[in-house]
Amino acid sequence: MIKILRLSDRLEMAAMVGIDPASDGLARARRLGVATTHEGVEGLVRMECFSSVAIVFDATSAGAHRHNAAVLAPYGKRLIDLTPAATGPYVVPPVNLDEHLDAPDLNMVTCGGQATVPIVAAVSRVTPVRYAEIVASIASKSAGPGTRANIDEFTETTSRALEKVGGAVRGKAIIVLNPAEPPLIMRDTVYCVIGHCDETTADAVRASVSGMVDEVAAYVPGYRLKQEVQIRTLRADDPLAELADGHPGGTATLVSVFLEVEGAAHYLPSYAGNLDIMTSAALRVAERLTTR
């Protein structure tokens, strides 16, 4: 809601929907002159403004999204799913923004997916990625009940997106809820196992990753490389080397990328980069839909 009101010149905020009549979000919406309901998706359907709504953002939970999608299906609304339900195709803006614009339900993967899938895609457009593993570390305080209820869905959906969108043959995702005080900014680590990598390929990988970081930062200003991309040849007896079988040259290489995602603090604290990158990506998709 805050991002649409502050940043978008293509979208008009119609309604804010919740289930807790005393929630701060609904109170904030009312102060900003936005229509509200605390009766969930059923309440939205009954609202006077519902007929003019074209796009619905769902930021509930995986289980709730399936219910919400079923309720809204007869009305022809476009759904942008910020949960890991993955009932629709995965969309990661800098990688495949235009591929699924006709789908009725667009899935934004997860916060970890939005941060790391572009990096895997950046490596795979230079050289095949046999294995991709990501570790998303977020502040415990930025993980609400929806995130905590969807840990399994987070790892499964992110892992599949690393393969289907990022291009990895095999993907794995890990999430860490960091209880440190003061809360730490979101960190993401991306490991890609590739085959033989000479200096020309290494330079191309670094350039591709750097370019992708710039693309994401265009709509998530707090998205950045924490340090230079690291590329090293794996020893023949390293278990990871087995994942690169079939590559020319008979050697395996590990590409390591370390990211930081700082939130814009439009509403949530700046350490909640995980929520900022999700809402920013969803906003970008919705604005692209309007050009259609």
Express each pLDDT in 36-57 by its tens digit: 999 999 999 999 999 999 999 9
Query: Which whole number is the average pLDDT over 251-257?
Result: 95
pTM for the whole structure: 0.96
Residues of the chain with CATH 3.40.50.720: 2-108+277-290
The per-residue pLDDT for 246 is: 53
Residue 215 pLDDT class (50, 70, 90 cuts): very high
pLDDT of residue 24: 95
- The verdict on domain 2-108+277-290 having CATH code 1.10.420.10 is no
Residue 69 has pLDDT above 70, yes or no: yes
pLDDT at 145: 86
Catalytic residue list contains 192? no
Report the run of H or E that residue 35 belongs to, with start and end: strand 35-37
Say whether 17 sits in a helix, a strand or coil: strand
Fold that domain 111-267 belongs to in CATH: Dihydrodipicolinate Reductase; domain 2 (3.30.360)
Mean pLDDT to the nearest integer, 147-151:
91
Nearest to 96, CA basis, from 158, 156, 167, 191: 167
**Where do the CATH 3.30.360.10 domains begin and end in the chain?**
111-267
Given the residues 49, 111, 192, 197, the one annotated as active site: 111
Q: Supply 99's token pair.
A: 């591929």
* CA–CA distance, 104 with 79 (Å, rounded to integer): 6
